[in-house]
Amino acid sequence: MERILVIDDDQDICSLLSRFLSKNGYEVDTASSGADALKLLRTKSYTLVLCDYHLSDMSGADLLQRIKILQPAVPVIIITGYSDVRTAVQTFKYGASDYVVKPLLPDEILITIREAINKSNSKGQAYKEASEPRRSSLREDRFIVGTSPQAETVERYINLIAPSDMSVIITGDTGTGKEYVAVAIHERSKRAGKPFVAIDCGALSEELVGSELFGHVKGSFTGAFTDKAGSFEIANTGTLFLDEIGNLSYENQAKLLRVLQERKIRRIGSTRDIDIDVRIITATNEDLLSIVKAGRFREDLYHRLNEFKIELSPLRERKGDIMIFAEHFLKKANAALGKDVKLTNKEVIEKLKNYAWYGNLRELNNVIKRAVLLSPGSEITLESLPYEIISPEPEFADTSGTDHLFEMSHHNLLKSVSGRAERQAIISTLEKTGFNKTKAAELLKIDRKTLYNKLKAYEINL
């Protein structure tokens, strides 16, 4: 049975998720702190981890990096409030698989978990069978081409560089679709149909990078119980995609450079060289030249990798593409949820076009999926969108903007707002208190029972 670890310092959320996931066929463990979670991770193997971004003893980003040391292959989904999405998206640099937003929606969690596990399994299958190309879930989606000048430039560059064997660096903010571009290059190249192997360098500890890239022989180090082919061997005759390349240590950069120069690899603990024929595509959300100047990235490796560069603009700079991707994600969400919701409401379209999309395509995908879940009718309405998208008012734009509301001591806070604003005030207060309902009730100056009634009335599912 697949086992999931839920990490959240709110016992109510742990209990709710444990019951829900158990009913859906998963074995579930819970931990109320990062320290407790690490103890479990040292003794048990997990199929997936659900981790709250705000914990009492460490941040989700810190815990994520420790999880990846203990269990590098386990997919991790971050639980966050919408006002923290911009920050939570940065955890992808450390190997997060996806995120879900509070208030939690059961169907959304289930779909996100299944997608993360399926993607992890497809990657694992590639490692088990070196002769088989990776069946990435990305390949189930066609590469979507926007109509903005930036998108047209990217499309032209893909068609220009794909037939060659030149190394490519893809740059862009987190969530702009760098792996999709890498897959498009591969599938339009002469290596199409050959293996495509993707490695997230940000998700690997320094000690494991060598084994993942080059493989090892049985007994070469503690835990090497069998021979293992590395990513270069698996990708032989195909394409190796190295995401977050800037996270490689200086020592591992040197090893990678030698492989690129000699076109040979040697498994850890072996004395035999193996010839490899692999095209390298790398990606980063950092300015590699700045890292080179700072002495953290080898200049010779940079020039070896940078035979051609494709830069992906953030979604906010190509507003003409927003609705093209929104319609694509809508089609996916409808298929996954068995619904037929339309995106025709003019106000909704306007809000989507004018939002900043700090998490880029990944955030847009999650917002559309959640909106389909929340839509009771045949079209997405404003009420189905996060309040931060539909409301430009500064007091509800982010969590910090509600500080002055918490200082109101002479009357009930909830009497000063109504309707949708009251719902958002409750959500913002819960986020402010780390979803501790007792503390939230105190700040809202209502009793806990009243808060529970309002949670039910406003369909705020925690």
Three-class SS of 285-324: CCCHHHHHHCCCCCHHHHHHHCCEEEEECCHHHCHHHHHH
**For residue 40, what are the CA distances in angstroms to 25, 35, 120?**
20, 9, 21
Sign of the alpha-carbon dihedral angle for 397, 401, 404, 408: positive
Q: What is the mean pLDDT of residues 117-133?
A: 56
Nearest to 179 by CA among 206, 205, 197: 197
- Phi then psi for 265, rounded to 5 degrees? -130, 160
Q: What percent of the chain has pLDDT above 90?
A: 53
pLDDT of 154: 94
C-alpha–C-alpha distance, residues 440 and 436, integer Å: 6
Q: Which amino acid is at 29?
A: D
pLDDT tens for 402-417 read 333 333 333 344 433 4
Q: What does CATH list as the number for 391-462?
A: 1.10.10
Nearest to 114 by CA among 62, 48, 57: 48
* 143 burial level (CB within 10 Å; 0-12, 13-18, 19+): middle
The CATH H-level (homologous superfamily) assignment of domain 3-124 is Response regulator (3.40.50.2300)
Residue 314: pLDDT band (50, 70, 90) is very high
C-alpha–C-alpha distance, residues 267 and 220, integer Å: 9
Higher pLDDT, 443 or 176: 176
CA angle 164/167/173 to nearest 5° reads: 120
**For residue 292, what are the CA distances in angstroms to 124, 298, 420?**
33, 6, 50
Q: What's the token pair of residue 420?
A: 């949708």
79, 71 in Cβ contact below 8 A?
no
By DSSP bridging, strand 3-7 and strand 27-31 are: parallel
Count, residues in the chain: 462
- Phi then psi for 156, rounded to 5 degrees? -65, -40
pLDDT tens for 412-437 read 444 334 455 677 778 777 766 767 78
Helix (H/G/I), strand (E/B), else coil: 207: helix
What DSSP string describes 216-277? E-TTSSTT--S-EE-HHHHTTTSEEEEETGGGS-HHHHHHHHHHHHH-EE--BT----EE--
Domain boundaries, the chain: 3-124, 131-313, 315-390, 391-462
17, 442 in Cβ contact below 8 A?
no
Answer yes or no: is pLDDT of 396 > 80: no
- Phi then psi for 357, rounded to 5 degrees? 50, 65
C-alpha–C-alpha distance, residues 175 and 446, integer Å: 40
pLDDT of 138: 45
Answer yes or no: is pLDDT of 392 > 90: no
Count of beta carbons in the 10 Å neighbourhood of residue 22? 12
pLDDT tens for 440-450 read 888 887 888 88
Do the domains 131-313 and 3-124 match in fold?
yes
Count of beta carbons in the 10 Å neighbourhood of residue 416? 12
Answer yes or no: is pLDDT of 156 > 70: yes
C-alpha–C-alpha distance, residues 440 and 432, integer Å: 8
Nearest to 197 by CA among 157, 161, 230, 156: 230
Residue 355: pLDDT band (50, 70, 90) is very high
Q: In sequence order, what are the beta bridge partners of 229?
A: 215
Least confident of 30-44, 52-66, 196-210: 196-210
Least confident of 285-289, 319-323, 389-393: 389-393
C-alpha–C-alpha distance, residues 190 and 142, integer Å: 18
Answer yes or no: is pLDDT of 395 > 70: no
C-alpha–C-alpha distance, residues 118 and 116, integer Å: 6
Q: What's the token pair of residue 156?
A: 């032209």
456-460 CB contacts, 8 Å cutoff, 24+ apart: 458/422, 458/423, 458/426, 460/103, 460/423, 460/426, 460/427, 460/430
pLDDT of 86: 79
Answer yes or no: is pLDDT of 275 > 90: yes
User: Who contacts 14 (Cβ-Cβ below 8 Å, separation ≥6)?
Assistant: 6, 8, 30, 31, 32
CA angle 234/235/237 to nearest 5° reads: 120
pLDDT of 404: 35
Helix (H/G/I), strand (E/B), else coil: 416: helix
Q: Indicate the fold that domain 315-390 takes in CATH.
A: Helicase, Ruva Protein; domain 3 (1.10.8)
The pLDDT mean for the chain works out to 85
- For the domain made up of 131-313, the CATH class stated in words is alpha beta
